[in-house]
C-alpha cells in the first residue's frame, strides 16, 4: 500500500503592524546616531528593496545630516583603502572639491574652489559691479 501524504501545516502569516507611531523629534531638536547604526538602517532599506525609493524621497525632501570632520575623513579614508574611489559615487565622496577651503591645494587635478563669503562673493577678491 502507498503511504498517505501528511496534510501540510498552514503557513504562519505575519501580521502587519497596526497603529505604529514613530517617536518624532520636535523642530530644532537634534539626535546623535552612530555611523554603524546609520549603515545598518541603510542595509535594512536595501534588503527590503526600497533603496531607489529612499534615495528619490530623500532628494525630494532635501534630507541630509551634518557630520563632524572626523567622521567624514573616516569615510573618505575607508573608501580609498577599499578601492571604492573609482566608482562615480566614491569619486564624489572622496574628491568632493566643493568643500575645499580657501588656500588648500587642488586634489588630483581638480581646481581648488573657495567657499563664498557672507556677501556671496569669493573671499579675497573684489566684488564685480553689475553693468547698468
Count of domains observed in the chain:
2
Per-10-residue mean pLDDT of the chain, 132 residues long, equals: 73 69 88 91 95 94 88 91 90 74 47 46 50 57
Boundary-marking domain end, from 64, 80, 112? 64
Of the candidates 43, 42, 77, 46, the residue with the CA atom closest to the CA atom of residue 63: 42
Range of the domain at 41: 33-64
Distance CA 57, CA 63 (A): 8
Same domain, 83 and 39: no
Same domain, 75 and 117: yes
Of the candidates 44, 43, 67, 45, the residue with the CA atom closest to the CA atom of residue 58: 45
Distance CA 93, CA 89 (A): 6
Of the candidates 70, 120, 112, 82, the residue with the CA atom closest to the CA atom of residue 95: 112
Is pTM, for the whole model, over 0.85? no
Tell me what pLDDT residue 17 has. 60
Tell me what pLDDT residue 61 has. 92
Give the tens place of pLDDT for each residue, 80-97: 999 998 888 888 888 876
Whether residue 10 lies inside any domain: the answer is no
Amino acid at each position: 500500500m502507498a503511504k498517505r501524504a501528511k496534510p501540510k501545516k498552514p503557513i504562519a502569516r505575519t501580521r502587519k503592524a497596526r497603529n505604529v507611531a514613530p517617536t518624532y523629534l520636535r523642530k530644532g531638536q537634534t539626535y546623535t546616531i552612530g555611523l554603524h547604526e546609520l549603515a545598518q538602517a541603510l542595509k535594512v532599506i536595501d534588503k527590503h528593496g526600497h533603496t531607489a525609493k529612499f534615495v528619490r524621497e530623500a532628494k525630494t525632501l532635501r534630507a541630509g545630516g551634518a557630520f563632524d570632520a572626523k567622521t567624514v575623513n573616516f569615510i573618505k579614508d575607508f573608501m580609498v583603502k577599499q578601492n571604492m574611489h573609482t566608482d562615480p559615487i566614491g569619486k564624489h565622496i572622496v574628491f568632493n572639491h566643493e568643500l575645499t577651503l580657501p588656500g588648500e591645494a587642488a586634489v588630483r587635478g581638480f581646481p581648488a574652489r573657495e567657499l563664498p563669503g557672507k556677501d556671496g562673493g569669493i573671499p579675497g577678491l573684489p566684488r564685480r559691479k553689475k553693468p547698468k
